[in-house]
Amino acid sequence: MLITKVKTKEELLPALTGRVLVIPCLGCSQSYFPLEEFNRLKDELKASGANLASEVTFDYMCREDFTERRLEIYREQIEAADTVLVFSCGVGIQTFAGLLPGKKIVSGSDTFYVPGFPGFTPSEHDCEQCGECRMGLTFGICPVTACSKGLLNGQCGGAKDGKCEVDKNMACGWQRIFERMSALKGSDKGLKEGVQVRDYKKSNI
């Protein structure tokens, strides 16, 4: 699951040479594409002299066989274009570019990371797939993702009023763990027994 944000006119304009084909990927469609901003940006680009010659819509660009088929359908438009301006997440753009290695591809959007696994619901919870789940010690709150520093052995001490020093909008993960432990009348014995060291190799299967 991802969230994309369209780039600014200033950033895109220098890259848009010749006839430009615009392709928005509406795959994670419905609620996940910034349609309004996309339309506004197109108007701005046109007003600034970019030659947005045509536009075709893709969906689930990340699925190679869908994309291949669409390339077939829109062959004419693609061949006629000097530059293809793609609005999709990084996976989609790479899939597209991989199938058309000879074409100049411009990525129209930036991709942001959203908690929750691929394809499913955006979630308040996050999981980094570290491959060594420790939530048994931390009462079901993940220190790898809930602590902005990913500390495994307790708080850094920088939090103020329960908020993280890295980003004040974020709650301190270790305070949450402590509060939950107190609520469950749990014990921190397991945590204190040894120092937790992350094995990065585990996530590298």
Partner 1 sequence: MIREDFTKYKLKPAKELRELVSGKDKLLVVSCNKCFKEFVSIAEPEYQEAAEIIKTAGKNISGYIPVDYLCNQYLTEKILNKYKNEIENSGAVLVIACGLGIQTVSQTVNKHVLPGADSVWQNGYHGVTLSAEKCGACGECFLTSTGGICPVVDCSKGLVNGPCGGAKNGKCEVGKHRDCAWELIYNRLEKQGRTKGFIQEAPKLRNYRRNKFKLVDEYVKLIRAKRSEGFYGGLYPVELKELASGLAIEKFPEPDIVVIPLSQHAGLACEALVKKGDKVKKGQKIGETAKSPITAPVHSSVSGEVIEIALKKHPVLPSPALSVVIKSDHKQELDASVKPAGALDSLAKEKIAEIIKDKGIVGMGGAGFPTAVKLKSPKPVDTVLINGCECEPLLNADYRVMLERSAELILGLRLIMKAAGVSKGIIALEDNKPLAAEKLKSLLQGDASITVEVVKTKYPQGAERMLIKRVLKREVPLGGLPLDVGVIVNNVGTAYAVWDAVYNGMPLIRRVLTVSGETVPKKGNFEVLVGTQLKEIVKYCGITLKSDEVLKTGGPMMGVIQPDFEAPVIKGTSGLVVVKKHDIVESGPDCIKCGRCVEICPMELKPTFYVLLAKQGKYAEMENHGVLNCIECGCCDNICAAKSSIVDIVKQAKKLIREKKK
Selected binder of partner 1 within 22, 23, 45, 96 (CB under 8 A): 96
**Applying CB under 8 A, which of residues 13, 18, 48, 112 lies at the interface with partner 1?**
112
Q: Which has the closest alpha carbon to 33: 91, 84, 106, 109?
A: 109
**Judged by CB under 8 A, does residue 175 bind partner 1?**
no
150 binds partner 1 (CB under 8 A): no
Hey, how many other C-beta atoms are within 10 angstroms of the C-beta on 32?
17
71 binds partner 1 (CB under 8 A): no
149 forms beta bridges with none
**Interaction between residue 13 and partner 1 (CB under 8 A):** no
To the nearest whole angstrom, how small is the minimum distance from the Cβ of residue 53 to partner 1? 18
CB 126 within 8 A of CB 116: yes
**15 binding partner 1? (CB under 8 A):** yes
To the nearest whole angstrom, how small is the minimum distance from the Cβ of residue 157 to partner 1? 20
Q: Tokens 């996530």, residue?
A: 203
Task: Give dist(CA 82, CA 89) in Å, integer.
Answer: 21
Residues 36-55 that bind partner 1 (CB under 8 A): none
Closest CB 40 distance from partner 1, rounded Å? 16
Q: What per-residue string of b and e applies to 178-195 under the rule 16 or more CB within 10 Å gives b?
A: beebeeeeeeeeebeeee
When asked if residue 81 is in the footprint of partner 1 (CB under 8 A), the reply is no
119 binds partner 1 (CB under 8 A): yes
- Residue 120 in tokens: 């499913």
Distance in Å, CB of 180 to partner 1, minimum: 8
How far apart are CB 183 and partner 1 at their closest, in Å?
8
Instruction: State whether residue 5 is helix, strand or coil.
Output: strand
